[in-house]
Structures are given as structure tokens and as C-alpha cells.
Structure 1
């Protein structure tokens, strides 16, 4: 079951998107629950739990979609995906801080929405099912891969950083890099493996994460890392 929120204050756009979303999900035999809100205030005053995808109009009165997204990130961190709909591209740079999955430019076409909402659902399902097991002395931890911000190693002492906790273990960087090769991680330094989804910006030889932590980027990997980071941002605009 996929839980989706649509928040759109223009009735005609709301009806069109509702029709599109239901058509796409039913056409692909996806079980879903779709809730609709007519304003950012209504959504935040009746905040639902365990939502997988928020589809937010940016240009809403009073509380706009960007401010709603910031509140979502305060409440649910990086768990739900956020898709913005907008008529203007000026909000795109501002939206990187809330880790938007996509920006769909109005007027939104059925096939375009279909492509990206199905892709988003795939990512949601992958996140729910992707974990690594980490051992530390007598304890074994199950860590959601999507929660990992970066990994650091000193000799064979490895620290796996998530938003809320750091896990210590003994493992080689090559081994965990291999385990995470199908996810959006990049070996930016011999001692660091970073989740690009959490990178907010980069400066010379440093990646700055959303929580303002800094991860070193080696000189010879900086150009390729920058290219990967920019490519990841570019995928979000449709």
C-alpha cells in the first residue's frame, strides 16, 4: 500500500492531478490511499502519519508548498518523498534543501506524471526493503540504507553515520562500498563514502551535508564527484 498526499489550492489543477494519479495507479494495479488537501494550512493542521509521497503545489496562498515541505522534513526527516508542481523554475534552487524528488512544471502531462510517480514509488519500495546488517562485538544492527548519511573509516574502525545515530563496526571500506554500489553513494575520499542524497552543496574538496557536517573530498576525485552531484540535482527537474 502506497500512501500519497496531494496538496493543491487550485481546484481545476487538483481535479486533474487527482484523476491522473488514480488512473496511473489503477492502471498499474498499485494499491494506494490518496488524501487531498486544499491548502498548506489544512495539511499541517491535520498532519497524517506514515505518508510515502507528498505532491505539493509550490505557489499556494498563506503557507506555500516550500514551507510545507520544510515542515515535513522537520517532522518526518527524509522518509517521505516530495514532488513539487510549479509554473515557475525560480523555486528549484531553494528546494534542494528539502530533498525534493522531482519538480514537475505545469501544465503537467499524464505521461510525464506517470513516468515520475512510478519511478518514485519504485524508490519508496526499495527504501522500505533495503537494509544492511552491521555487527559490533555481541550486537547486530539492522540499518536502513536510506538513513545512512556517510561512512568513515580509520584503519579498520568504521563509523556508519545516520541522521540520529553513529554505528561502530569493523569492516573494510571496499566491502561496504560493494554492498552499497547500487545506491547513490560515492567514494569521495579513501576514508569516506558519502550518500549523495544528503549532500546540500560542495566547495573545494569538501561536501557539506544537510545537517552541516563536512565530508572530505580528495583532490583527484573532486571533479568526478562534482559531476555526480550536479547530475543528481539535474535529475530532479522535469
Structure 2
């Protein structure tokens, strides 16, 4: 997931960066000190989520959000502001707003909601030359063997040419977590965690890498908090 932070006050921008790192160290963001630079970046890149200060020299954050909302694929915008009056007026183009100074707990609540909203509803891949569009909610876990990804769903198992890194990048916002070099699990179906394995609701046991266990537990806690 690609994230952008735009604020013309360096201290405020750094504060939001620190909140994001505290919320989830795996999430990275590009930073912009002017809305014009953010809009220019969208000509060559796409950001799924934009944390955008409303009160900036023209184009203001609000004007930038209006332009972004007219794109064929608009990003999710979270306004940041010192003035709640500006925030209320921005609900037509923004998903949520955060009032400065932003508190960590409020940041977590808004980010949880944003990631749920951004989460992809489907995973597309090819199997035997045919396109398969599979709802992410039906996927239990994905494992890789050599150059093949085996996708285990509620009703069927699929094989496709897909790296786990690619799958992790596409499905992280949908509540999936990599718990081993060869396994990506849907947190929705985690039943329990033991010392070396996690057990899914269908009884499947999947090994947990020692190096990934803490991140897995932290990610699961965040997931449970937002669902």
C-alpha cells in the first residue's frame, strides 16, 4: 500500500511520520510539503491513502483533495487540521479527519478504519491459462513451493505463478499476514497460536517463523481491535 503525507509544517509532518511508524513499522510514506507537489506526484504514481493538511497555501489541501476526488481511481484522503470547522466542511471529499495535535489513539482508530476501507475485495490470478477472480474473504492461506503459489480457499485449492512477496503486498490491507517465509494467512481465520504454529478454524496447522512471531502477534492484535 502506498501512503503519502502532505503538510507545509515540517514539525507536524514529522509528528505524523512518527505516529505512522508507531502504528505499524512496516508502513512507509512519501512526504510532501506542498499540495502542488503532491498533485504532481500523482501524474506518475498512485497513493492509496493520503494524510493531507487542509490549511496550506494554494492549492490548499481541500483544493487538492477535490482534484484527487475527480480522478478515475481516487485515493482515500484523511484531512489533518487545527480547525474542526475546516474538517467538517471537508467531509464531501475526505474519508475522515484528524485534529491537531493528533493523539496516537485517535490516529489508530482512523487508520484502522482506512485500512479496512482500502482492503481489496478480490485477488486476481491465472491458473492453467484462465483468469480467476477470487474473493479475499474466501482465502484461508497461501503457501509457496519453489515458483508456485498454492492458494487455499474455502471451497477449492488453486495453483498459480505468484511470489509470496507479491501476494503479501496485495493482501496486507485485506487482513493477511506473513508468518513464515512460505506462508501468508488470513487473520480472519486464525483460531489460536501455540509456540511454533498457528491453527486456523478448519484445523489446519501452519508453522510460525521465530523471526516473524512477534510481528504476527502484533498484527493480529491490531486486526482484532479493528474488527
Query: TM-score, normalization: structure 1?
Result: 0.48
* Alpha-carbon spacing, 1:93–1:13, altered in 2? closer, same or farther (3 Å): closer
Q: How far apart in 2 are the matches of 1:20 and 1:92?
A: 20
Q: How many residues align?
A: 127
Q: How far apart in 2 are the matches of 1:4 and 1:84?
A: 13
What CA deviation, in whole Å up to 9, does each residue of 1:126-177 have, x standing for no partner? Answer: xx1159xxxxxxxxxx8x9xxxxxxxxxxxxxxxxxxxxxxxxxxxxxxxxx
Residue 117 of structure 1 aligns with which residue?
111
Q: How far apart in 2 are the matches of 1:53 and 1:91?
A: 20
- Tell me, yes or no, if structure 1 residue 129 matches structure 2 residue 121: yes
Structure 2 gaps, min length 5: 124-132, 136-227
Q: How far apart in 1 are the matches of 2:8 and 2:14?
A: 10
Residue 11 of structure 1 aligns with which residue?
10
Structure 1 gaps, min length 5: 132-141, 145-238
Residue 231 of structure 1 aligns with which residue?
none
Secondary structure, counterpart of 1:75 in structure 2: coil
The 8 Å contact of residues 47 and 75 in structure 2, kept in 1 or not, is answered as yes
TM alignment of 1:74-223, pairs within 5 A: 74-77=70-73, 79-98=74-93, 100-125=94-119, 128-129=120-121
Q: How far apart in 2 are the matches of 1:93 and 1:108?
A: 16
Query: TM-score, normalization: structure 2?
Result: 0.50
Q: How far apart in 2 are the matches of 1:22 and 1:76?
A: 30
TM alignment of 1:30-109, pairs within 5 A: 31-47=26-42, 48-77=44-73, 79-98=74-93, 100-109=94-103
